[in-house]
Amino acid sequence: MTEATPTAESKSSPAEHFDVLVVGAGISGVGAAYHLKHQCPDKSYVVLEAYDTFGGTWHMHRYPGIRSDSDLYTFGYRFKPWSGPPIATGAEILKYMNEVIEENDLDRHIRYGHRIQSAEWSSEDNLWTIHATRKDTGEPVHFTANFLWMCQGYYRHAKGFTPEWEGMEDYEGEIVHPQTWPEDLDYRGKRVIVIGSGATAATLIPAIAGETEHVTMVQRSPTYFFPAPNRNEFADTLRAIEVDEETVHDLTRRKILHDQAEITRLSREQPEDVKKLLLAGVRMYLGPDYDIEKHFTPRYRPWQQRLAFVPDGDIFQGIASGKASVVTDEIERFTKKGLLMKSGEELEADIIVTATGFNLSVLGDIDFTIDGEPLDFAKTVTYRGMMFTGVPNLLWIFGYFRASWTLRVDLLADFVCRLLNHMQANGYQRVDVALREEDRDMELLPWMDPDNFNPNYLMRSMHLLPKRGDKPEWQHTQDYWRERKEIPAIDLTAEEFQYDRETRRSDS
């Protein structure tokens, strides 16, 4: 079904009103629904989701072996114990989310098959008007909401990022992106090249290696991996002494977060020691003769990019067994039969998988207007990576990369609910974040400091994202350990929050 762009006529059909409209039913949107239900029981809300089901990332990715690369004690919600192995498959994550939906009767708040195209803010009414299209009927539908809670993730689901290489059109085999993995792709007995060395490549390669003739991972530069058994000894001990699952969940989260804080600190203060430790883990699987320096020693410091946990070192087991291998070199071009590398080496393959990352999607590719003016998100300044100057009554959940995304879902959900309850108690209709007098001369910088975190998809799209300042209020620090103290302590009466600005202005 093609999606209709709302016309002037279709926009005139009646809009349904909700206090809060949540965009997306991935792990963020389902978390938002849970917290609204429990912390703002008087608020009406709806979740609009483009797919026919929940899960977002975990519904959409279907490549073999799809799994988390962070542990589910912290990738799971704070309120719902996780009792499986720390690294979970996509299917296990969906099952967990389904339980959250069922146990809390959230389904009746979620409208599936609703893709949002545009959102218009009116200062006259202090309302968002949202235009969407129903997938089943193609019908345009309209909603109004006081508050927009953006849980649309950070990347475009429809199409992954594939660089343009010379000669791609000459290649006679099949080119596949993991984001759009064909259900019927037959890789058995075939020669497969996987371009990329991130978490996706590390997941996919061990999952298919056994059935292929051979898999070659082609990488321009190496990534850090953290191989370890897929179990949490601390949690297992607690279970063995019959501690209840809620306590196991809570204590295991604390323990993991404590350990991660240590690794993050060490990565910053003693990067060489952490590097040695990580490489020793790889060496354990690949033996003394393997060229770890060339294939597994990244150019960046540990934690400058996401560190992928590799359960039981499975990718290294594949390499050690000879079913998989690594080529570290730049691609010169595609050939009829595979790839020609800059070194002159030629690699042949029946299938080439481009595990080359995402296209960043800013605010769900929704056209935003503020009082009739198109919103240029890049001209706004972010308030703690969640709200934006000049964009009233809106919050975006952009999670953590060094820690589990969902930690920020719970943390920001507490904040949104506190903000909504504060506004209700004071009769406010509108909240803006605005630079204070002391921020006027603040230098405005790109969204993320590349020295702090620099994955390619962010570097490619930094110009589309809001600006950051040089104070914690105006940055997404990506630092969970700091935010878990700072966010609950935010003073909602502080100067950077402006309530009912228009009304106040006309009163004065």
| CB nearer to ligand FAD: pick between 157 and 384 | 157
CA-based R_g, the chain, Å: 24
Q: Which residues, at least 6 apart from 231, have a Cβ–Cβ distance to it below 8 Å? A: 85, 86
Which of 153, 198, 318, 357 is the binder for ligand FAD (CB under 6 A)? 153
Query: Does 70 help bind ligand FAD (rule: CB under 6 A)?
Result: yes
Minimum Å gap between C-beta 341 and ligand FAD is 27
CA 34 to centroid of chain Cα atoms: 19
Minimum Å gap between C-beta 69 and ligand FAD is 4
Query: Distance between CA 375 and CA 410 in Å, rounded?
Result: 28
Q: Which residues, at least 6 apart from 7, have a Cβ–Cβ distance to it below 8 Å? A: 140
Residues 400 to 459: which contact ligand FAD by CB under 6 A? 404-405
Per-residue contact flags (x/-) with ligand FAD for residues 390 to 409, judged by CB under 6 A? -------x-x----xx----
Query: Distance between CA 283 and CA 197 in Å, rounded?
Result: 17
Beta bridge partners of 111: 48
What is the full DSSP assignment across 69-82?
SS-HHHHS-TTS--
Query: Distance between CA 375 and CA 368 in Å, rounded?
Result: 5
| CB nearer to ligand FAD: pick between 225 and 497 | 225
Minimum Å gap between C-beta 32 and ligand FAD is 9
Supply angle C-alpha 450, 454, 455, rounded to 5.
160
| CB nearer to ligand FAD: pick between 215 and 366 | 366
Per-residue contact flags (x/-) with ligand FAD for residues 85 to 124, judged by CB under 6 A? ------------------------------xx--------
Which of 366, 386, 391, 394 is the binder for ligand FAD (CB under 6 A)? 366
| CB nearer to ligand FAD: pick between 61 and 467 | 61
For CA atoms 334, 339, 341, 345, give the dihedral sign: negative
Query: Does 76 help bind ligand FAD (rule: CB under 6 A)?
Result: no
Minimum Å gap between C-beta 39 and ligand FAD is 19
| CB nearer to ligand FAD: pick between 135 and 337 | 135
Tell me the site size for ligand FAD, rule CB under 6 A.
32
Query: Distance between CA 101 and CA 376 in Å, rounded?
Result: 35
Beta bridge partners of 351: 174, 192
Which of 45, 68, 223, 496 is the binder for ligand FAD (CB under 6 A)? 68
User: In this structure, which amino acid lies at residue 222?
Assistant: P
Measuring CA to CA, which residue among 71, 27, 29, 438 is closest to residue 257? 71
Residues 177 to 206: which contact ligand FAD by CB under 6 A? 200
Residues 4 to 63: which contact ligand FAD by CB under 6 A? 23-29, 48-51, 56-57, 61
Minimum Å gap between C-beta 441 and ligand FAD is 34
Q: Which tokens in the block code for residue 304?
A: 């400058």
Query: Distance between CA 464 and CA 453 in Å, rounded?
Result: 17
Minimum Å gap between C-beta 401 and ligand FAD is 7
Binding site for ligand FAD (CB under 6 A): 23-29, 48-51, 56-57, 61, 68-70, 75, 115-116, 151-153, 157, 200, 364-366, 397, 399, 404-405
